[in-house]
A and B are shown apart, each in its own frame.
Chain A
Amino acid sequence: MAALKKSFQLKSRDFIHAGEASISVQNMLKQIGIESALIRRVAICAYEGEMNAVMHGENGSFRIEVNTDKIILDISDEGPGIEDIAKAMEKGFSTASEEYREMGFGAGMGLPNMETHSDRLDIESEKGQGTRVVMRFSLSPGSRENKTGQSA
């Protein structure tokens, strides 16, 4: 079975379009018959990753790959990077500006949400070098209601 792949460019601080990649992924997973509990987990992770790349990063790129045994979300950007990843992972830690906080961002819950809802979260980042966040979700045989006629 060939892997299904899709990718999106994310423009930094473009809050008009922010979230659209995640919605598109949600639709795609529904179409190929992924079970809803898993789609909901992927939706949370996609949203948080997309928002972080848009809000904190520059030149973001968002990719999803659906294989027979897993879904991979690979979100990277060329922004300022994360200085202390362990600290960034702490619930409540945020460097979001006052303006973003007023918009409801900056709870410091994005990365903790991604950790909770993915099966595996890997973050590569260096100050000044950008950030890459990869999340994996295992697909057990039951988590995909195999629809007949689906080639993906």
Chain B
Amino acid sequence: MKTQDLIDQFGLTAAAGKAGIDREIAGGYCGDLLSEVMANAPIGCVWMTIQVHQNIVAVAVLREMAAIVLAMDNQPDLETCEKADREKIPILLYNGSSYELAGKLYAAGIVNETADE
């Protein structure tokens, strides 16, 4: 599944980084502590978080993520969107909870192959 399919199937909105929506999704991760996410999020994953500041983009780039999802109607900072556009990291908005979206992603077959790399 690609990020574009995720948007279409689960009613997400792309707030930034639209140039990166054709990447294949390789897993999912939920986390709000950046160093913990950096260490444990699978490469190529969709990352669900409540953090909205620009450093989430650096984490996503360095962890080679497919997209970042801000759940519960959280809105990204302006700088976050600018950076996401530059780095082609889609920032997606979801109005339900991370828990709910994670369940849907899992049911759709997005599972993590290994705990790391």
A8 contacts B by Cβ under 8 Å: no
- Closest chain-A Cβ to B23's Cβ sits at a distance in Å of 15
Q: Report the contact-size class of chain A (Cβ under 8 Å from the partner).
A: 20 to 34
Number of interface residues of B (CB under 8 A): 25
B111 contacts A by Cβ under 8 Å: no
Q: Contact between B53 and A113 (Cβ–Cβ < 8 Å)? A: no
A137 contacts B by Cβ under 8 Å: no
A19 contacts B by Cβ under 8 Å: yes
Measured in the bound complex, the distance between the Cα atoms of B76 and A143 in whole Å is 38
- Which residues of chain B in 26-74 are interfacial with respect to chain A, using CB atoms and an 8 Å cutoff? 32-39, 43, 49, 51, 53-59, 61-64
Measured in the bound complex, the distance between the Cα atoms of B39 and A95 in whole Å is 20
Q: Contact between A47 and B38 (Cβ–Cβ < 8 Å)? A: yes
Instruction: Summarize A's interface: helix, strand, loop or mixed.
Output: helix
Residues of chain B lying within 8 A (CB to CB) of residue A46:
62
- Closest chain-B Cβ to A45's Cβ sits at a distance in Å of 10
A119 contacts B by Cβ under 8 Å: no
- Closest chain-A Cβ to B43's Cβ sits at a distance in Å of 7
- Asked, given contacts A40-B43, A47-B59, whether A104 binds B33 with beta carbons under 8 Å apart, the answer is yes
Residues of chain A lying within 8 A (CB to CB) of residue B85:
none
- Asked, given contacts A47-B59, A104-B32, A105-B35, whether A15 binds B54 with beta carbons under 8 Å apart, the answer is yes
Measured in the bound complex, the distance between the Cα atoms of B86 and A16 in whole Å is 13
* Closest A residue to B31 using CB positions: A104
B87 contacts A by Cβ under 8 Å: yes
- Closest chain-B Cβ to A56's Cβ sits at a distance in Å of 13
A109 contacts B by Cβ under 8 Å: yes
Q: Contact between B39 and A103 (Cβ–Cβ < 8 Å)? A: no
Interface set of B (CB-CB < 8 Å, partner A): 32-39, 43, 49, 51, 53-59, 61-64, 79, 87, 117
Interface set of A (CB-CB < 8 Å, partner B): 15-16, 18-20, 22-23, 26, 37, 40, 43-44, 46-48, 51, 103-110, 113, 116
The 10 closest A-B pairs by CB, nearest first: A19-B58, A109-B35, A107-B33, A43-B62, A104-B34, A104-B51, A107-B35, A113-B39, A110-B35, A107-B36
